[in-house]
């Protein structure tokens, strides 16, 4: 999005030092910056101000700074007290120029996939911008807005939370007119304390919606559909229950783990063949269809949109190696719900032997040991051999190894006719196992 630097200075309550110019979007990483962008140096483990010169060399024409402007740097500076807070103000500035089709997506599980599926649906009808990967926090969300094309007609913004008030803050930036809540699960309990707090946090999205907005809620989860009482917006429900406003029947899964089903909506019905893998993606597709239909996407376009929508990387990627080994790479993140869904997808593959290379499921709180052991026992019941990487909590039914090389070595001899799932929380970085196998 093109922005006048003078307007940015006004928005952040700072001063412009240098020529009045226009920037196109923003970046917080000097290595990923595109020429003409605004560089925002974030102060965290590293001080982003140390990379201002590198950002300008990469093409940044302006930068925010909470330090004195750099002498001899050929770019316009905008002073501010806090660069992260200023980035949020830049997001609010851009939001004022966007149309009233901004969708916030949250939930303990499925928000990134739902965001990806909805972006594919909206793109059939509108010029659509969406969060990259899982850019869902106080930095990623304003970057999503700032980097939307000038002709954007719809935005899909993923919203994550690590505590009460986080989503309310994100909503103050994005001002969504549509909100989707996927599920409330015992995820990040180490941070929230209990599942009731998770529900309170996720419900901040529907509380922020305007009266003429739309809340899309999962009818299969009591704690989600109960959020209808927390919003003045119109409510559309989705789910497997026949009473939901948007539902699916005749669900089938092919050999590539892609689901087909009959989609039922208030605007009509159509047959859908998902491009995304995993039967659990049907629920996410229903959420996306409800939001898209509410924004005016014709039901006739929904089948094409859902078929062509691509998921963000490291999610249900199916690879067949030269040896004939099938690798299901779902290594981006993990929690008990997504882990169970991935194991069931592995079990659905046509294979003579099935293995799961599993890393830790992080931030589960006091019941972490029980949750890990339950996953190991579920794998055993499905005929899956578990190789646990640096996580003893999977218990005695798993083979335990230390490190990526040991995990790969434990799979020595697998090949044609075998299938391997690779999955763990982000801290485990198990995509390295998938890379080594493929």
Strands 2-4 and 22-24, how do they pair?
antiparallel
pLDDT class of 229 with cuts at 50, 70, 90: very high
Residue 18 scores a pLDDT above 90: yes
Q: What is the pLDDT of residue 189?
A: 86
Whether 245 and 389 map to the same domain: the answer is: no
First to last CA, the chain: 39
Backbone angles phi, psi at 226, to 5 degrees: -65, -20
What value does the mean pLDDT take over residues 77-85?
98
Task: Establish if 93 belongs to a structural domain.
Answer: no
Residue 427 scores a pLDDT above 90: yes
Domain span including residue 135: 98-308
Nearest to 292 by CA among 325, 254, 246: 246
What value does the mean pLDDT take over residues 53-64?
98
Distance, CA of 139 to CA of 159 (rounded, Å): 11
Whether 213 and 136 map to the same domain: the answer is: yes
Distance, CA of 349 to CA of 228 (rounded, Å): 38
Decide if 131 contacts 155 (C-beta within 8 A). no
Nearest to 186 by CA among 358, 372, 336: 336
What CATH number corresponds to the domain at position 285?
Answer: 3.40.1190.10
Whether 301 and 365 map to the same domain: the answer is: no
Q: What is the pLDDT of residue 114?
A: 98
Q: Torsion over CA of 376, 378, 380 and 385, rounded to 10 degrees?
A: -60
Domain termination site, one of 54, 82, 110:
82
Residue 354 scores a pLDDT above 90: yes
Domain termination site, one of 287, 308, 329:
308
Whether 32 and 153 map to the same domain: the answer is: no
Task: Establish if 390 belongs to a structural domain.
Answer: yes
What CATH number corresponds to the domain at position 430?
Answer: 3.90.190.20
The widest CA-to-CA distance across the chain, in whole angstroms, is 67
Helix, strand or coil, per DSSP, at residue 226: helix
Distance, CA of 370 to CA of 368 (rounded, Å): 6
Task: Establish if 427 belongs to a structural domain.
Answer: yes
pLDDT class of 75 with cuts at 50, 70, 90: very high
Mean of per-residue pLDDT scores for the chain: 97
Task: Establish if 392 belongs to a structural domain.
Answer: yes
Q: What is the pLDDT of residue 186?
A: 85
| Strands (E) located in 135-284 | 154-158, 178-181, 214-218, 234-238, 247-253, 258-265, 268-277
Whether 260 and 321 map to the same domain: the answer is: no
Whether 126 and 197 map to the same domain: the answer is: yes
What value does the mean pLDDT take over residues 288-292?
98
Whether 154 and 225 map to the same domain: the answer is: yes
Partners of 377 in beta bridges: none
pTM, to two decimals: 0.95
Q: What is the pLDDT of residue 346?
A: 98
What CATH number corresponds to the domain at position 68?
Answer: 3.40.1390.10
Task: Establish if 91 belongs to a structural domain.
Answer: no
Distance, CA of 224 to CA of 237 (rounded, Å): 10
Note the pLDDT tens digit of each residue in 241-261: 999 999 999 999 999 999 999
Decide if 39 contacts 63 (C-beta within 8 A). yes
Q: What is the pLDDT of residue 300?
A: 95
- Rama region for 268: left / alpha / beta (φ>0; ψ in -120 to 50; rest): left
Task: Establish if 405 belongs to a structural domain.
Answer: yes
Tokens encoding 26 = 């923003």
Q: What is the pLDDT of residue 184?
A: 96
Whether 103 and 233 map to the same domain: the answer is: yes
Nearest to 356 by CA among 322, 315, 306, 407: 407
Residues belonging to the chain = 438
Note the pLDDT tens digit of each residue in 140-193: 999 999 999 999 999 999 999 999 999 999 999 999 999 999 999 988 888 899
Residue 381 scores a pLDDT above 90: yes
Whether 18 and 167 map to the same domain: the answer is: no
Nearest to 152 by CA among 173, 130, 172, 120: 130
Q: What is the pLDDT of residue 191?
A: 87
Helix, strand or coil, per DSSP, at residue 309: coil
Tokens encoding 91 = 């997001």
Q: Is 381 exposed, middle or buried (0-12, 13-18, 19+ CB in 10 A)?
A: exposed
Tokens encoding 159 = 């919203």
Domain termination site, one of 47, 82, 117:
82
Task: Establish if 88 belongs to a structural domain.
Answer: no
Structural domains counted in the chain: 3
What value does the mean pLDDT take over residues 80-98?
98
Whether 46 and 110 map to the same domain: the answer is: no
Distance, CA of 56 to CA of 208 (rounded, Å): 38
Whether 111 and 179 map to the same domain: the answer is: yes
Q: What is the pLDDT of residue 187?
A: 83
Q: What percent of the chain has pLDDT over 70?
A: 100
Whether 199 and 300 map to the same domain: the answer is: yes
- CA-CA distances (angstroms) from residue 353 to 3, 93, 383, 435? 56, 55, 8, 20
Decide if 52 contacts 28 (C-beta within 8 A). no
Task: Establish if 324 belongs to a structural domain.
Answer: yes
């Amino acid at each position: 999005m093109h922005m006048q630097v003078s307007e940015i200075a006004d928005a952040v309550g700072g001063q412009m030092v240098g020529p009045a110019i226009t920037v196109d979007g923003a970046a917080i990483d000097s290595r990923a910056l595109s020429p003409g962008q605004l560089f925002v140096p974030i102060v965290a483990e590293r001080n982003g101000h140390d990379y201002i010169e590198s950002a300008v060399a990469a093409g940044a024409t302006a930068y925010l700074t909470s330090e004195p402007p750099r002498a001899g740097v050929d770019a316009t500076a905008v002073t501010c007290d806090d660069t992260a807070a200023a980035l949020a103000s830049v997001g609010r500035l851009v939001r004022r120029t966007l149309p009233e089709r901004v969708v916030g997506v949250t939930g303990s599980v499925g928000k990134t996939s739902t965001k990806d599926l909805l972006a594919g649906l909206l793109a059939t009808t509108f010029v659509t911008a969406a969060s990259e990967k899982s850019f869902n926090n106080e930095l990623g969300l304003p970057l999503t807005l700032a980097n939307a094309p000038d002709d954007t007609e719809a935005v899909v913004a993923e919203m994550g939370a690590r505590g009460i008030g986080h989503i309310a803050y994100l909503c103050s930036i994005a001002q969504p007119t549509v909100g989707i809540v996927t599920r409330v699960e015992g995820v990040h309990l180490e941070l929230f304390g209990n599942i009731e707090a998770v529900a309170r946090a996720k419900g901040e999205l529907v509380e922020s919606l305007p009266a003429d907005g739309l809340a899309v809620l999962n009818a299969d989860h009591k704690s989600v559909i109960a959020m209808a009482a927390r919003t003045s917006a119109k409510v559309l429900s989705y789910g497997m229950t026949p009473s939901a406003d948007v539902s699916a029947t005749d669900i089938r899964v092919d050999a590539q783990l892609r689901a087909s089903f009959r989609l039922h909506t208030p605007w009509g019905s159509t047959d859908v063949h998902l491009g995304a893998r995993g039967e659990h993606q049907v629920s996410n597709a229903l959420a996306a269809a409800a939001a898209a239909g509410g924004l005016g996407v014709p039901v006739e376009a929904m089948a094409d949109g859902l078929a062509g929508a691509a998921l963000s990387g490291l999610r249900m990627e199916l690879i067949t190696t030269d040896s004939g080994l099938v690798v299901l790479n779902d290594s981006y993140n993990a929690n008990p719900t997504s882990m169970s869904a991935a194991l069931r997808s592995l079990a659905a593959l046509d294979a003579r032997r099935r293995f799961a290379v599993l890393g830790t499921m992080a931030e589960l709180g006091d019941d972490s040991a029980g949750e890990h052991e339950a996953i190991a026992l579920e794998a055993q019941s499905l005929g899956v051999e578990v190789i646990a990487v640096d996580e003893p909590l999977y218990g005695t039914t798993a083979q335990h190894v230390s490190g990526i090389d040991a995990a790969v070595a434990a799979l020595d001899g697998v090949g044609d006719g075998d299938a391997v799932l690779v999955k763990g929380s982000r801290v485990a970085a198990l995509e390295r196992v998938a890379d080594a196998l493929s």
